[in-house]
Amino acid sequence: MNSGHNLIPQHGGYRKLRSFQTAQLVYDATVIFCNRFIGSRSRTHDQMVQAARSGVQNIAEGSIASATLNKTELKLTSVARASLEELLLDYQDFLRQRGLRLWDKDAPEALRVRNKYKEFSDKSDNLDKPALPDRSGQSDKSGAADPYGISTALPEVAANTIICLINQASFLLGRQLQRLEQQFVEQGGFTERLYQSRIRHRNERSMK
């Protein structure tokens, strides 16, 4: 999907994005969580799963669209982040309505989740490098779809663990949006690049 030509820059490769990998963790964990703690016929069940799925799908779609539609990539990445923020509220409501504790960001339990995440993560600041294990093609039986033990955790632990992961994904998407905005300002969109390419081509022909 990638091309070395300046008109169509490198695009796709979303599976290597740290934001995508983390959002995928959130999605898998949310499916497990909702099947355990939210009634299958509840509207909340469907809304939470769809919000988590939207986070994953919009990152992927935006990455693919980046070849020719920079504004679309920005928009879809923003949608992904908004979907995860919506999901965050659902988990906070779950805890509040049941009188369960919401972990402080510096609570020992939250720190353990973040440390476990760091064990999987590449410490590089390059967002395009693989950060978490590639779990595509692996079955749930391998445990790859539930590395944080959501399937056996107590409700308070499960919800707070996923909240930690959502916050991490949202942070990464925020950095990704800043980078995309900077690239758009510096390089312009596809239409601008196409116009500039045509001008260069005409100038080259006129010089022959």
pLDDT, tens digit, for every residue of 75-88? 899 999 999 999 99
Percentage of residues of the chain with pLDDT beyond 90: 55
Instruction: Quote the CA–CA distance of 108 and 183 in Å, as a whole number.
Output: 38
Report residue 180's pLDDT band, with 50, 70 and 90 as the boundaries.
confident
Report residue 56's pLDDT band, with 50, 70 and 90 as the boundaries.
very high
One-letter amino acid at 27 equals: Y
Would you kindly state where each structural domain of the chain is located, as residue ranges? 14-134+153-206
Instruction: Quote the CA–CA distance of 64 and 60 in Å, as a whole number.
Output: 6
Closest CA to 71 of 187, 198, 199, 161: 187
Stretch 159-163: mean pLDDT: 98
Asked if 129 and 58 count as a contact pair (C-beta separation under 8 A), the reply is no
Check residue 72 and give its pLDDT: 81
Residue the block writes with tokens 């989740």:
113
Check residue 95 and give its pLDDT: 98
pTM exceeds 0.85: no
